[in-house]
Structure 1
Amino acid sequence: MMGNILITGGASGLGRAVAVAVAKEGGRPLVLDVAAPEAGTDQVAGGDHVIADVSDREQVERAVRELAERAGGLDGVVTAAGVDACGTLSDVPALDWERVIRVNLLGTASVVRAALPYLRRSGGRVVTCASTLGLRAVSDATAYCAAKFGVVGFTRALAAELAGQVGVTLLVPGGMHTNFFADRDERYRPGPDARLNQPEDVAATVLFALGQPAGCEIRELVVCPATETSWP
């Protein structure tokens, strides 16, 4: 049984795909997102959600506590919430640049910190979502690369810190068919011929990590299209 899995960014994209997959495996998806999940989604029946901005630590702490207490604990956490602000360092407004760090990196840490008491009790698991741009830097992505490189370092250190207590997996996905690219300038979107992964396929790898037996750790997973240009 998958158990109670808290998913940030679970209202759309990869997070939503994970929530649906958790429900199909008999688990209870607990969605924390700045937006509510789509109404009438029978695949996530039995789940729960709280609206909160992961860039705000106090909102995160309240939301995690509320979801965990209503569900009777947590068995896993998946940090899929993410934003981007493309452009050169001098062109991206400072507040937009800093929000990328707050959501992707600081939000990840805030959620995991708030969930740790519950995960220690259950011997649960954490799956953090980095990016292939957390391993390879490119121009016009200083905020995103800084945040995702940070997630990589945070997760590797967390795995060492929680070894034997809480399972920790670093997910490194490449491009996916989601709305992540929708609001970007045309030059920062994948081309019409780009081959991207389906979020449902990446979600299946998340469930694989969450479903490992106690003592068996999937430390890192790189899941990208065969023609991904940002890896290796």
Structure 2
Amino acid sequence: MNVLITGGSSGLGAAVARRIAADGGRPLVIDLHPPKDDVEHVLADLTDRRSTEDAVHGLARQAGGLDAVVTAAGVDACGTLADVPAEDWERVVQVNLLGTAAVVRAALPHLLEAPNGRVVTCASTLGIKALSDATAYCASKFGVVGFTRALTAELKGRVGVTMLVPGGMDTAFFDGRDEQYRPGPDAQLNRPENVAAAVAFALAQPPGCEVRELVVCPAREPSWP
């Protein structure tokens, strides 16, 4: 199985890439930074639609096609709407929402040729439940929720679509934030490997069977339900 993974150099994306490889598949990574693991990759910025499309098509040609896409790339910009610089706010939406759409759009011709093509988008519990000081992230992830549900209806019977809704994970995603926006010392975060296992489960469904939406969070996740 050839699986294209955005954000595959760190965090959830890297965990998914490792899981795909462990299961005998072929991970293909798009990221701003090269992966630490030895996997095929192309460096691209998801805010640049042209380079993103080129990366998708290049990896698909290199691998001889795509069987699945997992859009794990994501960024955040915490703070009130008045305090977050407009450029930072807009980048969150560009990466998380528009980047997701660009990757899926470019991958669709390849997925439609696959015998059991799959898309897994990465929303968030904050794509369903809003919090203060997270307008950019919530806007982007609420957008991913709407995009994915519409895409599911659009591709029904042709490409399987799963919306992953993860809660807090123990990754570098929270690094560099002001202390007030970082998980506390007692926070119980999910290991990205656990969430990657859920992604692998969705991808492993037989033809005609789909996991449409999948919430995976720590047992004491505060943002869900």
Distance 2:103 2:32 in 1: 14
Kindly provide the amino acid, as one letter, of the partner of residue 203 in structure 1.
Answer: A
The equivalent residue for 2:212 is 219
| Deviation string, structure 1 residues 120-163 (Cα, Å, up to 9, x no partner) | 00031000000000000000000000000000000000000000
1:158-197, aligned counterparts within 5 Å? 158-197=151-190
| Deviation string, structure 1 residues 22-75 (Cα, Å, up to 9, x no partner) | 00000000000010001xx3xxx5x31000011111011000000000000000
The equivalent residue for 1:117 is 109
Distance 1:9 1:142 in 2: 22
User: Does 2:72 match 1:69?
Assistant: no
- DSSP-derived class of the 1:116 partner: helix
Gaps of 5+ in 1: none
User: Does 2:81 match 1:89?
Assistant: yes
| Deviation string, structure 1 residues 75-102 (Cα, Å, up to 9, x no partner) | 0000000000000000000000000000
Aligned equivalent of 2:16, options 12, 15, 18: 18
User: Does 2:111 match 1:99?
Assistant: no
The equivalent residue for 2:41 is 49
TM-score, normalised by the number of residues in structure 2 = 0.99
Q: CA RMSD in A?
A: 0.6
Distance 1:37 1:173 in 2: 22
TM-score, normalised by the number of residues in structure 1 = 0.96
Distance 1:55 1:228 in 2: 30
1:201-212, aligned counterparts within 5 Å? 201-212=194-205
Distance 2:72 2:64 in 1: 22
> Runs (4+) of structure 1 moved beyond 4 Å?
none
The equivalent residue for 1:231 is 224
State the 1:4 CA deviation: 0.3
Distance 1:28 1:183 in 2: 32
Distance 2:49 2:96 in 1: 12
Distance 2:104 2:48 in 1: 14
Distance 1:196 1:55 in 2: 29
Distance 1:62 1:149 in 2: 27
Q: Identity of counterpart residues, as a percentage?
A: 72
State the 1:183 CA deviation: 1.2
Distance 1:182 1:149 in 2: 23
State the 1:21 CA deviation: 0.1
Kindly provide the amino acid, as one letter, of the partner of residue 18 in structure 1.
Answer: V
**Aligned residue pairs: how many?**
224
Distance 1:205 1:76 in 2: 15
Kindly provide the amino acid, as one letter, of the partner of residue 95 in structure 1.
Answer: E
User: Does 2:3 match 1:5?
Assistant: yes
